[in-house]
Structure 1
């Protein structure tokens, strides 16, 4: 420990090192339940690329593991510390280095908060689409690490589609530059896409070149009430089958709607079994909403209410963004799943989840990026009750198994981390895991970067 601190101090300012055990303990884990976390030896908060390189050279020389972190809003344990590690928190590297309206790119450091970037590019008439529910606090580096999605991904895609290039500090301290600033480029293997979603296991992102879009018109939102999750999912299928491209297509089940009302008195319709929110940011959103409203009615909607203006639309979106905090308030703990299935199987996924909740005697609310088939079943339980905690874990696993049975994946945007290591092996198979391990070894032969995550 003394040797580690002495070497780190030679290349870091005093304020970049945290050794107080009470403070370092607060950096030990992200927001996931049931994920083991160790005790870090030290927390480092660098401000420059050179400081990150110094940390990695020191770690390599002393064979000390390094766990990179952003805002720790993750939900899979990917940012959890291991015993004796260096926690490398990148939140102080928070500069927006460039915004180019001509090239439609932003160049940023990893600690830039998603919402801060979104507002900055908006001033130039531009738009950075990925918007996770935690967008007011999560960082771009963390979004890149887990390949985050968000509410708008049905039309605009996820983080991976907006990362053009990266500067990455490798395990031995070398600086790797991948990708490009240009609109097109196919030179060599696509290392940029490989690094996106790697959860800090291959390198430390210290700069990112991000693609931007022209700012779209303000969107309008429609809310449709359904007598069952099945009819709501039928509406989703009809909307997508008819070729509509909404900017948002979100679903909240009855449990979620009631939780939001309890938390914030939003006045959402508690008699509904499923509430579908659909938005368009087209030149004539009212016409698009009318067409979708007709499809919802044909699928069995009992009420279809289009918002009259952007302010009403924003209230509906706020209700959706409050889904996870509201479900977290139901019990003392939650496990948030992240299973993505083909859109055509979404109804089966929700029905199966409801059956799992009944079988295990638990409250499980589902909010979903319905346009992508990405569901977030939230298992609510009392963490002080051993039996309820056991049933929560069993139901979580049952939901993941159901997703795979329906031709889906165990994670659409939250990542694997610690929580889903066993399930990643099931999804990828023996050959797939072997190849993944080979890639890890090529980037990090000593296994120092975020050990114990993914596999």
Structure 2
């Protein structure tokens, strides 16, 4: 596909759509801020536009479609897969300024939100009326709901409550042709026609741009309890995870940290974690107070029976918060080891968690990389992170091979390339490995049908011929 560049005539037409000069950026220094996300690679857009209304978005997209100009919607750039990178130049559409609407309707158990609203603000607004928006990605304090919708974000509570797509009742979407459509609605039951809502959520901005969402809320559980189980062997901790999940207990959260994570956190901000342990599991249950009390005790008993060297149940809210604070400090702590973090989220069936842990150990030793493991172990959504220095070209080549083998291991165990980070451009080379040629072709045909000019976030999800993962520079 040959794209047209943004020339003076097109820039003038865009300035007519968005007359506020501060929301149309052309300076190289401004474009640099939109050339990267939290993954790898630097790609400059030709122009940045910050729309505030659906009408502005629709008019810009219509213009881009007429002129065959690529358009890249983005939120706060927290993507770990290259989702918003403007790999073909074109227009970067900064949706973070569309944050005017955050309406909680308690009687209907819904929230109606603009795409630029921070996810954490939705949590706070829902909790003020005794409700909860369950999806809780770790980046919720800085990530926009629009980005969460595009990537189908998850988080620790995904084990019990599911991910973003499970709480989206309806959307307002601007199509690649600049038309405005609505999918779904305000009701839990809605089986009118194709489920376009589920198609758009997780499509990573390749099928349309979300300009409003109707989200389902649930009553906030009245009680929670948390424990920490300490293990001398990470594979044994995986067996404990499987045993708890098949016992009749469905935790709200079940997180794991390996020894490298534990040591990094203690070096970064001491929390009293057991640095001699090979792994710790954090388990949280929620619900009725009596049920919570019994379930946390039973989870502790199961962990001890599998081989936990010690189990500690948090007795106060302060102790519970301290445990989860330690988990949230993993990412900032591990980058003190080396400056470059390759954050993956390959996911496997729960029964394969112990085997995946063993495979990760083998990959770490085979390629001599600093591989640490943490993440949402209860749903198999592990986060094997490799800590490296991108200036060391030889090391990064080993990292590339290790990442590819992590994906191969996950697929071989019946898993998936991504549990919540999305595909973007980083994982595109591996799509056929999971879907097969025919499966990938079906997705391509959907894309071509809705976006025949391929202007909507091109270069994502679908691999180019010969494309491979490249983390080295030059």
Q: Distance in 1 between matches of 2:444 and 2:136?
A: 31
CA–CA separation in structure 1 for the residues paired with 2:358 and 2:427: 23
2:195 counterpart of 1:190: yes
Aligned length, in residue pairs: 453
Shift of 1:103: 0.6
State the 1:98 CA deviation.
Answer: 2.0
Q: Is the 8 A contact 2:349 2:415 kept in 1?
A: yes
Tell me how far apart the structure 1 counterparts of residues 247 and 229 of structure 2 sit (CA, whole Å).
18
Q: 1:124-183 CA deviation, whole Å, 9 max, x = no partner?
A: 111001001111101101001111100111111100100111000011110010011012
Trace 1:51-66 onto structure 2 (pairs within 5 A): 51-66=56-71
- Per the TM alignment, residue 264 of structure 1 is displaced from its structure 2 partner at its CA by 1.6
| Offset from partner CA, 1:356-375 (integer Å, 9 cap, x none) | 11111111110021110111
Q: How far 1:328 moved relative to its partner? A: 2.4
Correspondence for 1:403 among 407, 410, 426: 410
Q: Is the 8 A contact 1:251 1:368 kept in 2?
A: yes
- In structure 2, the residue matched to 1:343 is 350
Contact 1:96/1:117, CA 8 A, preserved across alignment: no
Cα distance in 2 for partners of 1:41, 1:112 equals 26
State the secondary structure of the residue aligned to 1:118. Answer: helix
1:371 aligns with 2:378: yes
In the other structure, the counterpart of 1:108 is: 113
Q: Distance between the aligned counterparts of 1:126 and 1:291, measured in 2?
A: 28
Provide the residue aligned with 1:243 in structure 2. 248
2:54 is aligned with 1:68: no
Measure the CA separation in 1 of the matches of 2:101 and 2:272.
39
Residue aligning to 1:358: 365
1:206 aligns with 2:211: yes
Partner SS for 2:386 = strand
Q: CA deviation at 1:218?
A: 4.0
Moved more, 69-78 or 310-319: 310-319
Aligned to 2:449: 442
Correspondence 1:8 to 2:14: yes
TM alignment of 1:81-160, pairs within 5 A: 81-160=86-165
1:61 Cα deviation after fit: 2.0
- Distance in 1 (CA, whole Å) between partners of 2:77 and 2:425 is 14
Q: Return the offset for 1:83.
A: 3.8
1:29 deviation in Å? 1.7
Answer whether contact 2:102 2:117 (CA < 8 A) is retained.
no
Instruction: Give 2:24's aligned residue.
Output: 17
CA distance in 1, matches of 2:245, 2:432: 32
Query: Once the two structures are superposed, what CA deviation does each residue of 1:336-384 show, in whole Å capped at 9, x if it has no partner?
Result: 1111101111011111111111111111110021110111000111111
1:30 counterpart (30, 34, 37): 37
Whether 1:388 and 2:395 are equivalent positions in the alignment is yes
Q: 2:319 matched to 1:312?
A: yes
Q: 1:321 aligns with which of 319, 328, 333?
A: 328
1:168 equivalent to 2:145? Answer no
* Per-residue deviation, 1:5: 0.9
Out of 251, 255, 258, the position equivalent to 2:263 is: 258
* Matching of residues 256-335 of structure 1 within 5 Å: 256-283=261-288, 284=290, 285-335=292-342
Q: Deviations over 1:249-289 (max 9, x none)?
A: 11111111111112222221101111000011122323211
Question: Tell me, what secondary structure is at the counterpart of 1:281?
Answer: strand
* SS of aligned partner of 1:413: coil
Cα deviation for residue 424 of structure 1 reads 1.1
Q: CA RMSD, aligned part only?
A: 1.0
Q: Tell me the distance in 1 between the aligned counterparts of 2:322 and 2:101.
A: 30
Deviations 1:287-344 (A, max 9, x none): 2111100000000000000000222111111111222222222212011111110111
Unaligned runs of 5+ in 1: none
**Alignment pair present for 1:433 and 2:440:** yes
- Whole-Å separation in 2 of the counterparts to 1:438 and 1:134: 33
- Matched residue, 2:465: none
- 2: distance between equivalents of 1:237 and 1:435? 35
Give 1:41's aligned residue. 46
Greater shift, 315-324 or 100-109, is seen at 315-324
Query: What's the offset of the Cα at 1:82?
Result: 2.4
Q: Structure 2 length normalisation: TM-score?
A: 0.94
Runs of 4+ with >3 A deviation: none
1:425 Cα deviation from its structure 2 partner: 1.6
Alpha-carbon distance in structure 2 between the residues aligned to 1:95 and 1:371:
36
Unmatched 5+ residue regions in structure 2? 1-6, 463-474
